[in-house]
């Protein structure tokens, strides 16, 4: 069984990584996705990507206080983003007959997997009653 200090250290690293990932989503990925948006992208891809990009940073900060809520939030946002990124190439292929961009789907899928992994860490550690960072500072 892991000690209290190792649990706190692991949680600090993951929360810090989530905050870094959220800042990178806002500073790098969101502008790139905004300027490279194709005319054949559906509303679901746009809403899913925007919701994913705007959720990681606040949810990672929330994990300091409430990891269970943050874990549920990030897991659902990651799954929504995964659904929208897999739906868009299919929609483009079937509806408009254009060649789908699977590279975009794979890249966006990676962002969704990272978000779901972060959310599952917060969710599982909250259910296992790991110490809360805010109330267990050494």
Q: Which domains does the chain show, CATH number per domain?
A: 4-127 (1.20.120)
Residues in Cβ contact with 50 at an 8 Å cutoff, skipping those fewer than 6 apart: 30
| Residue pLDDT tens, the chain, 138 long | 678 788 888 888 888 888 888 888 888 877 776 666 666 566 777 777 788 888 888 998 888 888 999 999 999 998 988 888 777 666 666 666 666 566 666 666 788 888 899 999 999 988 988 877 776 554
CB–CB of 63/71 below 8 Å? yes
Residue 35 CA, chain-centre distance (Å), reads: 20
Is the pTM higher than 0.85? The answer reads: no
Q: Diameter of the chain by CA atoms?
A: 59
């Amino acid at each position: 069984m892991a000690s209290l200090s190792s649990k706190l250290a692991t949680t600090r690293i993951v929360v810090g990584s989530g905050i870094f990932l959220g800042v990178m989503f806002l500073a790098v990925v969101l502008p790139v996705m905004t300027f490279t948006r194709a005319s054949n992208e559906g509303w679901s891809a746009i809403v899913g990507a925007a919701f994913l990009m705007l959720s990681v940073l606040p949810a990672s900060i929330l994990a300091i206080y409430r990891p269970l809520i943050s874990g549920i939030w990030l897991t659902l946002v990651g799954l929504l983003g995964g659904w929208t990124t897999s739906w868009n190439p299919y929609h483009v292929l079937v509806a408009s007959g254009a060649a789908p961009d699977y590279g975009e789907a794979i890249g966006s899928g990676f962002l969704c997997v990272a978000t779901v992994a972060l959310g599952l860490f917060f969710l599982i550690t909250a259910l296992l009653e790991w110490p809360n960072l805010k109330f267990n500072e050494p």
